[in-house]
A and B are shown apart, each in its own frame.
Chain A
Amino acid sequence: MEDILFLFEQYPIFEGFWTNIKLAFWSSISAFTLGVILALFRISPVRSLSWLSAAFINLVRNIPLTVLVVMAVLVFWGQLQISLHSDFNTNFFLLATIALSMYHAPFFAEAIRSGVNTVPLGQAEAARAIGLGFFSAARLIIIPQALRGAITPIGNTLIALIKNTTVAAAGSVLEASGVMRTMIEFNPNLMVAIFLIIAIGFSLIVIPVGLITTWLSEKLAVTR
């Protein structure tokens, strides 16, 4: 027990988790927004938009996240000298957020598209018949119903995103899994306890997301 207290005193465990939460928060907002846009483009009748979206989705979805994160740091910051913030750590944080957003946007887009497929064609026809254009119909009728039908896959993507924030360690962001590695390096005798601390920490963050997802998917289900 004392050993564990020692770990908490000696290492920034809470700060690490807090960084994961911040990464997850900002990345999920921007990835979701980008995902909605990609999904809209994907289903739009304009061929070029649909093609562009499909190309982005298929390209980015197939790049490993670690590669994206390292690329953001080494290529954007290292090679191209693009600095998003004068503060070193903030800069890395932003680069990691961008990589996480890019990586997860296609997953959100595909989740939303699966939701769009749950909306009967008649809904779109009725929307068009009262004089709504494509984007109004999408915004007012199709997407709201699609999101309700896609809460479970969206929740799954969100859970994956939260856990994937640990990959930011590859981009020199100090977060929980990085703290874990440092702790193990210097306290190999406490390895099991360290693993448990990190595992329980993530579970505490992720379990509520799963519960909320299930609750929302039941509460918001569209009755037909």
Chain B
Amino acid sequence: MTTETNQAPLVKMSGVNKHFGQFQALSDINIDIPTGQVCIVVGPSGSGKSTLCRTINRLETIDNDGGYIEIDGKRLPEEGKALAALRADVGMVFQSFNLFAHKSVLENVTLGPIKVRKVPKKQAEQEAMEYLDRVGVGEQARKLPAHLSGGQQQRVAIARALAMKPKVLLFDEPTSALDPEMVQEVLDVMVDLAAGGMTMVVVTHEMGFARKAGDRLLFMSEGAVVEDTTPQEFFTNPQTARAQDFLSKILTE
């Protein structure tokens, strides 16, 4: 990592708006995420946190009104090869895992490196096995995703994202679809990644994880970033009424 990339924000969102028809899902988002930061995004449902996450690799488009998103100094392209190339650098982990259902666990992880990065198959498989071992599912490499538990599937999804050697990893509610007993195994992997210096944007309801691994916390409400602070500060000393209201609700749960 050169000093230059450390200085410029890895992810920059400037004046980003997003409408779904009349509904404004994102309103004037301005955030800079430096390399190595673990940025937690929380907020009530419908607050736009998933949308924010998905705009960063343009799975959601943004309003064409002057707002923009940059990854590592490069403006997100609108379409085509340039966009695909940029997405390859931005890993994404979905709530519903989205492992390729007709491919084995190993093929899920090697597909991107082989087809997008043009890594030779042997090398891709070797690296994939390292990632799968790292997230603790190496033994499942030959199975189909449907034969794995939710927690295992999500860890494979993390390995698949890691195999692309992304600059930043996006997590869109990665544990929300999991049975409670499987949440921790996924969070453990994410804590390890955070400790290893991976730049992460994590939309989550796991407040324990936010506290433990988060460097920064964005609280969103009605499409806007209402608080931009540290997890400690947010939990102990929320500034806005909306944040206090949100915290009172999740703490009584």
Binding site for B on A (CB under 8 A): 120, 122-123, 125-133, 136, 140-141, 144-145, 148, 222-224
Task: Report the nearest B residue to A128, measured CB to CB.
Answer: B87
Among the 9-residue stretches B8-16, B19-27, B92-100, B190-198, the one with 4 or more Cβ atoms under 8 Å from chain A is: B92-100
Instruction: Say how far B89's CB is from chain A's closest CB, in angstroms.
Output: 8
- Choice from B84, B90, B99, B161 contacting A132 with Cβ under 8 Å: B84
The reply to whether the CB of B210 lies closer than 8 angstroms to some CB of chain A is no
Tally of contact residues, B, Cβ under 8 A: 32
Instruction: Say how far A109's CB is from chain B's closest CB, in angstroms.
Output: 21
List, in ascending order, chain B residues with CB within 8 A of A129's CB.
57, 59, 87, 90-92, 94, 161
In angstroms, Cα B161 to Cα A128, docked, is 12
Overall SS of chain A's interface: helix
Whether B91 and A132, one on each chain, are in contact in the complex, defined by CB atoms closer than 8 angstroms, is: no
The reply to whether the CB of B102 lies closer than 8 angstroms to some CB of chain A is yes
Whether B85 and A130, one on each chain, are in contact in the complex, defined by CB atoms closer than 8 angstroms, is: no
Whether B146 and A130, one on each chain, are in contact in the complex, defined by CB atoms closer than 8 angstroms, is: no
Task: Report the nearest B residue to A139, measured CB to CB.
Answer: B115
Given contacts A131-B116, A131-B164, A133-B81, contact A126 B94 (CB under 8 A): yes
The 4 closest A-B pairs by CB, nearest first: A131-B88, A130-B112, A122-B98, A126-B98
* Interchain residue pairs with CB less than 8 A apart (7): A120-B96, A122-B94, A128-B87, A130-B88, A131-B89, A145-B101, A222-B101
List, in ascending order, chain A residues with CB within 8 A of B208's CB.
none
Task: Report the nearest B residue to A125, measured CB to CB.
Answer: B59
Task: Report the nearest A residue to B96, measured CB to CB.
Answer: A122
Extra inter-chain contacts (16) besides given A122-B97, A129-B90, A223-B101, CB under 8 Å: A122-B96, A123-B98, A123-B100, A126-B94, A126-B98, A129-B59, A130-B116, A131-B85, A131-B87, A131-B88, A131-B89, A133-B80, A144-B102, A145-B102, A222-B101, A223-B146
List, in ascending order, chain A residues with CB within 8 A of B101's CB.
123, 145, 222-224
Interface-central residue, B80, B89, B115, by most chain A CB under 10 Å: B115
List, in ascending order, chain B residues with CB within 8 A of A133's CB.
80-81, 84
List, in ascending order, chain B residues with CB within 8 A of A120's CB.
96, 98
Given contacts A131-B164, A132-B116, A136-B115, contact A125 B102 (CB under 8 A): no
Instruction: Say how far A120's CB is from chain B's closest CB, in angstroms.
Output: 8
Whether B111 and A140, one on each chain, are in contact in the complex, defined by CB atoms closer than 8 angstroms, is: yes
Whether B98 and A132, one on each chain, are in contact in the complex, defined by CB atoms closer than 8 angstroms, is: no
Instruction: Say how far B75's CB is from chain A's closest CB, in angstroms.
Output: 17
Task: Report the nearest A residue to B163, measured CB to CB.
Answer: A130
Instruction: Say how far B150's CB is from chain A's closest CB, in angstroms.
Output: 12
**In chain B between 74 and 128, which residues have their CB closer than 8 angstroms to a CB of chain A?**
80-81, 84-92, 94, 96-102, 111-112, 115-116
- Choice from B59, B100, B147 contacting A128 with Cβ under 8 Å: B59
In angstroms, Cα B244 to Cα A90, docked, is 82
Task: Report the nearest A residue to B107, measured CB to CB.
Answer: A140
In angstroms, Cα B161 to Cα A122, docked, is 15
Binary CB contact string for chain B from 37 to 77 against chain A (1 if under 8 A, 0 otherwise): 00000000000000000000101000000000000000000
Instruction: Say how far B206's CB is from chain A's closest CB, in angstroms.
Output: 21
The reply to whether the CB of B155 lies closer than 8 angstroms to some CB of chain A is no
List, in ascending order, chain B residues with CB within 8 A of A122's CB.
94, 96-98
Interface-central residue, B92, B98, B146, by most chain A CB under 10 Å: B98
The reply to whether the CB of B31 lies closer than 8 angstroms to some CB of chain A is no
Whether B112 and A131, one on each chain, are in contact in the complex, defined by CB atoms closer than 8 angstroms, is: yes
Task: Report the nearest A residue to B157, measured CB to CB.
Answer: A126
Whether B57 and A140, one on each chain, are in contact in the complex, defined by CB atoms closer than 8 angstroms, is: no
The reply to whether the CB of B144 lies closer than 8 angstroms to some CB of chain A is yes
Binary CB contact string for chain B from 146 to 171 against chain A (1 if under 8 A, 0 otherwise): 11000000000100110010000000
Whether B146 and A127, one on each chain, are in contact in the complex, defined by CB atoms closer than 8 angstroms, is: no
Whether B99 and A126, one on each chain, are in contact in the complex, defined by CB atoms closer than 8 angstroms, is: yes
Whether A223 and B144, one on each chain, are in contact in the complex, defined by CB atoms closer than 8 angstroms, is: yes
Given contacts A125-B59, A126-B94, A141-B100, contact A131 B84 (CB under 8 A): yes
